[in-house]
C-alpha cells in the first residue's frame, strides 16, 4: 500500500499562517513519483478522466496501489486544450443523466477536492436562427425538462434582453434561445491539478514523462505495461488516453472503432469582458 503524502489544507487561515512563515511551509501539490515494479491498477493518461478515475478508485473503492502514467505532463493533452464548457443540455435520457451527474459533481468539486477549479455557473445559451432551429430547441427544452434538467426557452426579444452585447441586427437573425442556467465554465488546468493533488494525497503515484510502449499479454489478459521507464506489472489497466486511445489500445491488440479529429478553437489575449455567459450557435457550424 502506497503511503499517503504530506498535505496541507488550503484556506484563508492557512494562507495567513503561511505568510508568517514566508510561504515556506507548503508541501508540493502532488508528488512526481518514480514507477514501482507493480501496482493493483495502472491508468494510462494523466488528464481529467485518468486522474479522476484514480481519485475515485482510491477515495470510494479503497484501492491504494494505483499509478497514473502520462506521456507528457498532467493535463497537457485534451484536458488543457478544450473550451472548458460544462453543461447537461442533452436530448436523450441516457446522455442527460450522465452529463447532469457530471454537472452535479462539478457543483461541489472545489469543496470536495479543496481546490478552486473556478467553476462559474454563468449559464449556457443555444441560439436559434431559423424556424427549423426553433423547433429543434423547443424539442430539446421539453426533453431536458422531462429528464429533470433545468431549461428555459425564450423568444427573440427576450433572448436579446437577457444576453448583453448581442448585435441588434446580426447577419444571422436570432429567432430564439435555449438557456441552461446551471451550465458554465471551469478552469480546465485547475481540474487536472485538483484531481492530481487529491489523488496524490491518497497515495496514488502520478508518473509524468512516461510513455506506454506496449503490453505483455497472456491468456487474454494484460500482465504488465511496457513503458519508457521500465515494465510495470498490473492485473488491471485503465485506458484514458483521449485521442490516443485507438493507438494505445492497438498496442494491446485491441481495435477501437474510433477516429480522432482535431477540432479548432482560438484564444485571444486578455480583453475587457463582453459576454458574461456561454453562447453556442449553429450559424457558425
Phi, psi of 95 (to 5 degrees): -65, -45
Helix (H, G, I), strand (E, B) or coil at 185: strand
Contact 158, 79 (CB under 8 A): no
* Alpha carbons 34 and 54: distance in angstroms, whole number: 17
Q: For residue 270, what are the contacts with CB-CB under 8 A and spacing of at least 6?
A: none
Query: Residue 278, Cα to own-chain centre: how many angstroms?
Result: 17
User: Which SS3 state, helix, strand or coil, does residue 122 take?
Assistant: coil
Instruction: Enter the pTM of the model.
Output: 0.92
Q: Are strands 152-155 and 41-44 parallel, antiparallel or unpaired?
A: unpaired
Distance, CA of 266 to CA of 250 (rounded, Å): 32
In angstroms, the CA 50 to CA 30 distance is 15
For the chain, give every domain's residue range.
28-82+188-251, 85-185
Say what the pLDDT of residue 140 is: 97
What tens-digit pLDDT sequence spans the chain (285 residues)?
455 577 889 999 998 988 888 888 889 999 999 999 999 999 999 999 999 999 999 999 999 899 999 999 999 988 988 889 999 999 999 999 999 999 999 999 999 999 999 999 999 999 999 999 999 999 999 999 999 999 999 999 999 999 988 888 888 999 999 999 999 999 999 999 999 999 999 999 999 999 999 999 999 899 999 999 999 999 999 999 988 999 999 999 999 998 888 877 777 888 888 889 999 998 765
Cell representation of residue 271: 480583453
- Tell me, rounded to whole angstroms, the distance of Cα 59 from its chain centroid: 18
Write the DSSP symbol of residue 4: P
Within the chain, how many helices (H) and strands (E) appear?
8, 13
Beta-strand ranges (E) seen in the chain are 41-44, 66-69, 85-86, 124-128, 152-155, 176-180, 184-185, 205-207, 212-218, 221-227, 230-233, 236-239, 278-281
Residue 175 and residue 166 in contact, taking contact as beta carbons nearer than 8 Å? no
Retrieve residue 90's grid coordinates: 442533452
- Write phi, then psi, for 124 (nearest 5 degrees): -125, 120
Could you give the CA distance from residue 41 to residue 139 in angstroms, rounded to a whole number? Answer: 43
28-82+188-251: CATH architecture: 3-Layer(bba) Sandwich (3.50)
What is the pLDDT, as a whole number, of residue 168?
86
The pLDDT of residue 5 is 73
Strand residue runs (E) in 29-76: 41-44, 66-69
* pLDDT given for residue 266 in this prediction: 77
Amino acid at each position: 500500500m502506497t503511503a499517503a503524502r504530506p498535505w496541507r489544507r488550503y484556506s484563508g487561515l492557512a494562507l495567513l499562517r503561511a505568510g508568517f512563515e514566508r510561504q515556506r511551509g507548503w508541501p508540493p501539490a502532488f508528488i512526481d513519483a518514480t514507477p514501482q515494479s507493480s501496482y493493483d491498477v495502472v491508468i494510462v493518461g494523466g488528464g481529467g478522466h485518468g486522474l479522476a478515475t484514480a481519485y475515485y478508485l482510491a477515495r470510494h473503492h479503497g484501492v491504494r496501489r494505483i499509478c497514473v502514467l502520462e506521456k507528457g505532463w498532467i493535463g497537457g493533452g485534451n484536458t488543457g486544450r478544450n473550451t472548458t464548457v460544462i453543461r447537461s443540455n442533452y436530448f436523450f435520457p441516457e446522455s442527460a443523466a450522465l452529463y447532469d451527474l457530471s454537472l452535479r459533481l462539478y457543483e461541489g468539486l472545489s469543496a470536495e477536492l479543496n481546490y478552486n477549479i473556478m467553476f462559474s455557473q454563468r449559464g449556457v445559451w443555444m441560439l436559434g436562427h431559423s424556424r427549423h432551429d426553433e423547433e429543434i430547441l423547443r424539442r430539446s427544452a421539453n426533453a431536458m425538462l422531462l429528464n429533470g434538467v433545468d431549461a428555459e426557452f425564450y423568444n427573440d426579444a427576450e433572448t436579446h434582453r437577457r444576453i448583453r452585447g448581442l448585435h441588434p441586427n446580426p447577419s444571422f437573425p436570432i429567432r430564439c434561445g435555449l438557456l441552461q442556467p446551471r451550465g458554465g465554465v471551469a478552469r480546465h488546468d485547475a481540474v487536472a491539478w485538483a484531481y492530481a493533488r487529491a489523488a496524490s494525497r491518497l497515495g496514488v503515484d502520478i508518473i509524468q514523462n512516461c510513455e506506454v510502449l506496449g503490453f505483455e499479454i497472456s491468456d487474454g489478459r494484460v500482465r504488465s505495461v511496457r513503458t519508457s521507464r521500465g515494465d510495470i506489472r498490473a492485473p488491471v489497466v485503465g485506458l484514458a488516453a483521449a485521442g490516443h486511445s485507438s493507438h494505445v489500445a492497438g498496442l494491446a491488440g485491441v481495435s477501437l472503432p474510433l477516429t480522432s479529429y482535431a477540432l479548432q478553437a482560438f484564444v485571444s489575449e486578455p480583453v475587457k469582458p463582453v459576454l458574461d455567459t456561454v453562447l453556442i450557435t449553429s450559424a457558425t457550424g
